A and B are shown apart, each in its own frame.
Chain A
Amino acid sequence: MRLINIKPNRPLAVFLTLLPFALVFIAYAIGSDIRLTANPADKLLPAPSTVWDTAARLTTEGDRRSGRILFWYDTWASLKRLGLGIGISASVGLIIGLMIGLLPLVRSFLAQFVAVLSMIPPLALLPILFIVFGLGELSKVVLIVIGTLPFIIRDLSQRTLEVPQELLVKAQTLGASSWVITLRVALPLVMPRLIQAVRLSLGPAWLFLIAAEAIAADLGLGYRIFLVRRYLAMDVILTYVIWITLLAFVMDWALRRLSRWMFPWAEEGL
């Protein structure tokens, strides 16, 4: 039997899925144990049990100063910024993407401009954003929008351009106006692509969120990580990193389920 034809059965598949996670955990535990044996107060690789205790404390106990459980406040602050940023990017991206894809006039007007715009590294704009939009919430949301919008526009305009010409001609033959074609032909075809584009933008969006929070903030997941880095509280950092990973994973998974549920005909891989 050829290797390419060997398929794991269900238990083996589950085992193989979990194996890399377990290996990383074991390697970490061993490294941590070695360092802690040499120096019990070592902060670099805290024992898994310490991380667990820290996570339990962070999620249940209030802050010494304000009594608030900062973990949930941080999460809420970050998710709000992320949601606003991605939401704006997705809706504006959808509209402009459709227009560039469907209307040759808009295409000539905007396509190259967006292409050039998307080449600007957003983080390089950060000092300017701070001066123009202040250090508050606005500049953080704007950074996420600037970081993800050009990609979404370019992706959606490309997908709109790929709508078969025959469909557009057929619709026109049936008497549809540009508006109706947009709503009834193009929009349903690009909606699954929008969800996919948002899924792909989530990574960069998190990156820009953390970067903005690292520079100026008083609440947020990225803020906390960069704050406690000042005294090497790796147990707190690891808790937050695992939490961020989990949040990002759940968002990605939810978007995929949404896409499957709403557009079962547009089933895609991964």
Chain B
Amino acid sequence: MKNLLTMTAMALCLASAATAQEKTEFRVAWSIYVGWMPWGYLEESGIMDKWADQYGIDVEIVQINDYVESINQYTAGAFDGVTATNMDTLSIPSGGGVDTTALIVGDYSNGNDAVIIKGDGDLASLAGKPVNLVELSVSHYLLARALDSVGLAERDLAGVINTSDADMIAAFAADDVEAVVTWNPLVSSILEDPAATKLFDSADIPGEIVDLMVVNTETLEANPDFGKALAGAWYEVMGLMAAGDEEVLTAMAEASGTDLAGYQAQLASTEMFFDPADAVAFTSGAELPATMVNVAEFLFDKGILGEGAPSADFVGVEYPDGSITGDESNVTFRFDTTYMQMAADGAL
């Protein structure tokens, strides 16, 4: 009996692996999205191994098919890093007390997420219609911002219906679906339907939906080489992409289930930071804190920050210049340009 308890306790301890200590083996998770395809290419092409070897460590990049699950796994301690948006990082790991650092700010959505209706109309015509979307995701945030821009609120709709992204295309084909909010590559598939009209997209709120590679802060502090290897490998591929290397782009296109032209079309609505200096400039920019405050308010408004959250400021977010929004005594989300700056300086 006592043995059983000890074993259970030990197993649970092991499950929460995120301990701050020096180590040589790291695992990061990623899921399919236009701005994250380079992670898959890094693992496949051996570029990640090359950089990891340089620092005498081992980094495994694992593809997870379910985006939310990948973040949950990271939060539970099964991974040292994960690809996530600024919003989901704030709500899941940071809201859950896992101190997380945005190591690489890869891109922001500049048209990749869109509000689409059947037939003609404008944003005001959404009033009284049901909207299908992945509830509490960046799609929900985009909808809130879109409604905001024409003075509507969610209660003016006939309701939002939580719909899995995997079934979004089939959903749009169903008769009772009138409007959807989703992201690429689903947006481009849905817009192939002549009846589909795009009302609003993330290009209308540029820089608010940011795609990151986030890592555990304690792990990073104890193992700076981990951060250096990831940043070095990432910006090597960014260089190849910026140069328009067709072989690299085709590999990413195929991995995301489209062809070169399709992938380039998606890249066109993604503001990729090919140059680390651009990423540093964006991350240190004045708009980011304002965006994060907006996002925190949205999350709190929808009750996503959880029971322990007395207000929207419950989680503290730290920026590269040391300023903080939210609770200063509970900083669990940090934007850190150290490693991107190293890449920009060629110091890796």
Asked if B348 is an interface residue, CB under 8 A from chain A, the answer is: no
A residues within 8 A CB of B171? 130, 135, 216
A135 near B162 with CB under 8 A, answer no
**Which residues on A sit within 8 Å (CB–CB) of B13?**
34
CA distance A40 to B304 in the complex (A): 18
Q: Does A264 contact B (CB under 8 A)?
A: no
Contact in complex: A31, B9 (CB < 8 Å): yes
A135 and B132 within 8 A (CB): yes
Query: By the criterion CB–CB under 8 Å, are B97 and A40 in contact?
Result: yes
Which residues of B lie under 8 Å from residue A53 when comparing CB positions? 307
Residues in chain B near residue A180, CB distance under 8 A? none
Q: Are B155 and A44 in contact (CB under 8 A)?
A: no
Cross-interface CB contact of A130 among B98, B135, B170, cutoff 8 Å: B170
CB-based contact A50/B95 at 8 Å: no
Which chain A residues border B132 with CB–CB below 8 Å?
A: 135, 216
What total of chain B residues lie within 8 Å of the partner, measured CB to CB?
46
Q: Which of A57, A65, A127, A231 contacts B167 (CB 8 A)?
A: A127
Cβ–Cβ < 8 Å partners of A232 in chain B: 72, 75, 92, 96
A54 interface contact, C-beta 8 A: yes
CB nearest neighbor in A for B88: A230
Contact code string B186-210 (vs A, CB < 8 Å = 1, else 0): 0000000000000000000000000
Interface size on A, residues (CB 8 A): 42
Query: Chain A contacts of B95 at CB under 8 A?
Result: 41, 43, 231
**Residues of A with C-beta under 8 A to B68:** 229-230
By beta carbon, the residue of chain A nearest B76 is: A44
Q: Does A27 contact B (CB under 8 A)?
A: yes
Bound form: Cα–Cα A161–B326 in Å: 71
Interface centre among A34, A45, A131, A232 (most CB of B within 10 A): A232
A217 contacts chain B at the CB level, 8 A cutoff = yes
Q: How far is the CB of A28 from chain B (nearest CB, A)?
A: 9
- Contact across chains for B173 and A131 when beta carbons are under 8 A apart: yes
The majority secondary structure among interface residues of chain A is helix
**Cβ–Cβ contact A34 & B12, under 8 A:** yes
**At the interface, yes or no: B91 with Cβ under 8 Å from chain A?**
yes
Taking CB atoms, residues of chain B closer than 8 Å to A27 are 4-5, 8-9
Q: Is B242 an interface residue (CB 8 A)?
A: no
| Contact of A235 with B by CB under 8 A | yes
Asked whether, in the complex, the Cβ of A230 is within 8 Å of the Cβ of B97, the reply is no
Assess whether A217 is in contact with B161, with CB atoms less than 8 Å apart. Answer: yes
CA distance A11 to B332 in the complex (A): 51
Which A residues lie within 8 Å of B173 (CB)? 131
Residue of A nearest to B301 (CB): A64
- Give A168 to B156 CA distance when docked, in angstroms: 64
A230 contacts B137, CB within 8 Å? yes
Q: In angstroms, how far is the closest chain B Cβ from the Cβ of A212?
A: 11
Q: Are B72 and A135 in contact (CB under 8 A)?
A: no
How far is B333's CA from A177's CA once the two chains are assembled, in angstroms? 78
Which of A35, A50, A127, A226 interacts with B16 by CB under 8 Å? A35
Other contacts beyond A41-B96, A134-B177, A216-B162: 7, CB < 8 A: A27-B9, A41-B332, A130-B167, A215-B164, A216-B171, A230-B137, A232-B72
- Hey, which bits of chain B sit against chain A, CB under 8 A? 4-5, 8-9, 12-13, 16, 68, 72, 75-76, 88, 91-92, 95-98, 132, 135-137, 154-155, 159-164, 166-167, 170-171, 173-177, 303-308, 332
Some 18 contacts from A to B, beta carbons below 8 A apart, are A26-B5, A27-B5, A35-B16, A39-B16, A41-B96, A42-B97, A44-B16, A45-B12, A126-B167, A127-B167, A134-B174, A134-B175, A135-B176, A229-B72, A230-B88, A230-B136, A232-B75, A233-B307
The 5 A-B residue pairs with the shortest CB-CB distance, nearest first, are A41-B97, A31-B12, A43-B96, A134-B176, A27-B8
